[in-house]
Amino acid sequence: MRTDSTFHNKNNITWIDKELFEDTILTRTILLDSNYNEEQAVFEKAIKEKIKVKTYLTDRALTGIYKTNREKRWETHPGSVQFAFRRDTYQIEKKLSLQICKFANVPESLINKLVESNLLEDYETFKCPIIGREIDFRDFKDSILISTHGKSRYQVGHMNPLKSVRDGVFGHTPSNISWVTEDGNRIQGSLELKEVYDLFFEIFENKPWELVAE
């Protein structure tokens, strides 16, 4: 459990199923092996420069009680919103990696290998959780391999801001993180996901439809 004091004690420790780590490592191994994945170069750069950084390292937070700057999340203070259990970070890496495999137009041979390895069960094309737009792997590939400093069409983001931390729902947890489009990230800003949808509904109710149509 997460607690602000006496974090490491006999009442706050338990076993972790080794399959959690094995599945994550197997996923990484397949995606980075050109024998299984013809788009290995794309995944290698995405995992190294985006997934691992966002998953395992804290953001640069230089204000507030708990200051962090790219340290391992499980080594920061458990009272910080940047904190995450190491078991959660493994799940996050696996989730973000497999989400890419659900983008439209991912090589079928890679999908078959992941299904065969019991890593990918349901294959429904991934959509940006903010605006519901499908992500085309070919466009994602271009954005990864031909990147522009300070600009990215696809980003990893928290569905609810870390400042709204709530165990099991918010915070740096597998259920609260996803790939998002640049438009989705810009629209969301610092809002919680529900606040974004509430804002959409308010716009639809208040904005004259003739102006929307224009």
This prediction has a pTM of 0.88
Looking at every residue in the chain, the average pLDDT score rounds to: 89
Instruction: Using the predicted structure, report yes or no on whether residue 4 has a pLDDT greater than 90.
Output: no
Residue 106: C-alpha distances to residues 39, 50, 66, 120 (Å): 9, 19, 41, 13
Position 123 scores a pLDDT of 76
CA angle centred on 211, ends 208 and 213, rounded to 5°: 110
Instruction: Using the predicted structure, report yes or no on whether residue 118 has a pLDDT greater than 90.
Output: yes
61: confidence class by pLDDT, cuts 50, 70, 90: confident
